[in-house]
């Protein structure tokens, strides 16, 4: 999340620079053209977090310059969507004169959706009591004029959930709506508009596929659910307990019944597939019954470890979504002995920063 002021007039320049950089990084793999998916120039980020600074009778949001640790006052945040910008001043105005809500309020976190839902987490450096809970309910009612608002209070070893700690996002993928539970403190794609492009791109790239799909790092089913229509079955793995529960919930929410979600890390799954270990969860999922010919990976910034690279090499088609093109290139250097890059894309998830989200489709060499 950038702390710097943005100028939307600079958007196309920064995007062009990213396109040229990604092209140069992928050039060794015979990639000359890439699909480019722009972000909205402002109000594109669906989540944000701010420290709360107390200054006498006043309080306001701040961010820190990561290089200098300089405090930067934030009264509005054009990077974030409109709902976050509406809620930011409303929350401070409400709690400013209410000691039970204001006392030792340390941070406010926002998770929002395209359908005007928001989860607001109020984080404190003190324990919370019934009085806080009662006044937080009144705050929740006051904020309802902006949309469907949920509030969670947090302190050390304490979490008070007024109603629920999640929202439901609706994404339009290839003109079809998909609903996704998004839980506080679990991973979700920050830029909903670009995420819709990204999933639609993967959906289009896998049309006409045969057999089943293996997905590693499936999260809450962001790719699994829409792509399920292109395959007989989907075997999806994820290490986060919360994300696994959400992925299963989202399958039911969207009436999708050909997706099996297994709680396993990519490293553990690779070891099982290599015959180096046994897994009760793998056995219960009957993973040997799947006929996976395509694999989709969306790893963290560190990319794929060596064992997982060897695992994905066994599949005819690889869909690789990367939030770090540097580790993507490292993995492609290993995979190029067996696969060719047939298609590539840049998804501008993080405008006005140096971060890039990329996608490549690899096909087994004949």
- The verdict on whether 161 is a catalytic residue reads no
The β-bridge partners of 168 are 181
Q: Which residues of 313-325 are buried (b: 16+ CB within 10 A; e: fewer)?
A: bebebbbbbbbbb
If phi > 0 it is left, if psi is from -120 to 50 it is alpha, else beta; for residue 303 that is left
Of 317, 274, 282, 318, which Cα lies nearest the Cα of 297?
Answer: 318
Q: Is 230 annotated as a binding residue?
A: no
Of 20, 109, 323, 326, the active-site residue reads 323
Of 235, 252, 322, which Cα lies nearest the Cα of 34?
Answer: 322
Distances (CA, A) of 19 to 51, 74, 144, 166, 200: 34, 30, 41, 35, 20
At 37, list the tokens. 């998916």
Q: Is 298 annotated as a binding residue?
A: yes
Cα–Cα distance, 128 to 104 (Å, whole number): 10
Q: Is 217 annotated as a binding residue?
A: yes
Q: Is 189 annotated as a binding residue?
A: yes
Total Cβ atoms within 10 A of residue 285 = 19
Of 296, 167, 281, 292, which Cα lies nearest the Cα of 226?
Answer: 296
Binding residue ranges:
189, 217, 222, 238, 298
Task: Write out the binding residues for S-adenosyl-L-methionine.
Answer: 189, 217, 222, 238, 298
Catalytic residues: 323, 357
């Amino acid at each position: 999340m950038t702390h710097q002021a943005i100028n939307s007039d600079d958007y196309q320049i920064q995007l062009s620079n990213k396109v040229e950089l990604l092209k140069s990084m992928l050039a060794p793999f015979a990639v000359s053209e890439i699909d480019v998916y722009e972000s909205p120039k402002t109000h594109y980020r669906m989540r944000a977090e701010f420290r709360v600074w107390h200054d006498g009778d006043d309080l306001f949001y701040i961010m820190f310059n990561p290089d200098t640790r300089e405090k930067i006052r934030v009264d509005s945040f054009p990077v974030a969507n409109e709902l976050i910008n509406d809620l930011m001043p409303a929350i401070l105005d409400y709690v400013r004169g209410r000691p039970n809500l204001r006392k030792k309020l340390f941070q406010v976190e926002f998770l929002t959706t395209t359908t005007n839902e928001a989860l607001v987490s109020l984080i404190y450096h003190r324990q919370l009591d019934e009085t806080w809970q009662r006044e937080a309910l009144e705050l929740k009612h006051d904020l309802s004029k902006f949309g469907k608002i949920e509030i969670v209070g947090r302190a050390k070893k304490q979490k008070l959930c007024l109603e629920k700690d999640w929202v439901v996002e609706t994404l339009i993928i290839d003109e079809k709506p998909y609903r996704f539970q998004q839980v506080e403190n679990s991973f979700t794609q920050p830029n909903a508009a670009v995420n819709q492009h990204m999933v639609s791109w993967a959906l289009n790239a896998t049309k006409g596929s045969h057999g089943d799909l293996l997905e590693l790092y499936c999260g809450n089913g962001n790719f699994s659910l829409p792509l399920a229509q292109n395959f007989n079955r989907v075997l999806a793995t994820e290490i986060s307990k919360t994300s696994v529960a959400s992925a299963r919930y989202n399958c039911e929410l969207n009436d999708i019944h050909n997706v099996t979600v297994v709680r396993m890390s990519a490293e553990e799954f690779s070891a099982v597939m290599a015959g180096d270990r046994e897994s009760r969860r793998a056995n219960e999922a009957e993973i040997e019954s799947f006929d996976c010919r395509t694999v989709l990976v969306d790893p963290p910034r560190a990319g794929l470890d060596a064992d997982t690279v060897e695992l994905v090499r066994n599949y005819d088609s690889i869909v690789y979504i990367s939030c770090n093109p540097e580790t993507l290139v490292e993995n492609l250097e290993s995979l190029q002995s067996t696969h060719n890059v047939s298609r590539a894309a840049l998804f501008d998830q993080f405008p006005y920063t140096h971060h890039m989200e990329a996608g490549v489709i690899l096909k087994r060499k004949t």
